[in-house]
């Protein structure tokens, strides 16, 4: 789990998250974290909370947790409810971008850009919306794959 030790000596241990989607009673609690990142501002930290999944042998990341100055600011779940596979801070920790998609097969790639303080959705891209990724989403180009989707 996440344990933050600040420069002033104060500590923060992140609580386990509850799954944002309906799972069985045995599978609704966070089991691990991945991709912890400290923003350039040195005050904002984020990580992906992972949960058990019925159909995989590994947990899946469903919530992006954002922390600043001793408290959890926000818990972000993509509009699609799909797992968040990659993410990053932008603007010195004032914005986050992330890539979400299905567990297998790259069926519904989505990229979202959000304001950290308000949680407001600033921009989004999903397959079929545009044949080009917005500049902020370029780091996810390999993950997204074919912008138009599989050919029929």
Question: 152 pLDDT band (50/70/90 cuts)?
Answer: very low
Determine the pLDDT at residue 105: 80
Determine the pLDDT at residue 55: 81
What value does the mean pLDDT of the chain take?
Answer: 89
CA neighbor of 100 nearest in space, from 48, 152, 42, 41: 48
Determine the pLDDT at residue 147: 74
136 compared with 8, residue with greater pLDDT:
136
Model confidence pLDDT, tens digit, residues 74-95: 999 998 889 999 999 999 999 9
Model confidence pLDDT, tens digit, residues 127-142: 888 888 999 999 999 9
Domain boundaries, the chain: 3-21+28-142
Residue 62 has pLDDT above 70, yes or no: yes
Determine the pLDDT at residue 23: 59
Model confidence pLDDT, tens digit, residues 23-50: 555 668 889 999 999 999 999 999 999 9
């Amino acid at each position: 789990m996440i344990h933050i030790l600040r420069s002033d000596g104060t500590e923060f241990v992140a609580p386990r998250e509850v799954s944002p989607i309906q799972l069985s009673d045995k599978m609704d609690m966070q089991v691990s974290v991945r991709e912890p990142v400290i923003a350039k501002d040195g005050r904002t930290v984020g990580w992906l909370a992972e949960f058990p999944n019925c159909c995989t042998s590994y947990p899946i990341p469903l919530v992006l947790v954002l922390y600043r100055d001793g408290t959890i600011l926000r818990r972000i779940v993509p509009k699609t409810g799909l797992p968040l596979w990659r993410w990053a801070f932008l603007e010195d920790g004032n914005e986050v971008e992330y890539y979400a998609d299905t567990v297998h097969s790259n069926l519904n790639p989505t990229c979202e850009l959000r304001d950290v303080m308000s949680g407001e959705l600033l921009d989004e891209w999903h397959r079929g919306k545009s044949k080009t990724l917005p500049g902020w989403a370029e780091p996810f180009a390999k993950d997204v794959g074919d912008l138009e989707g599989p050919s029929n």
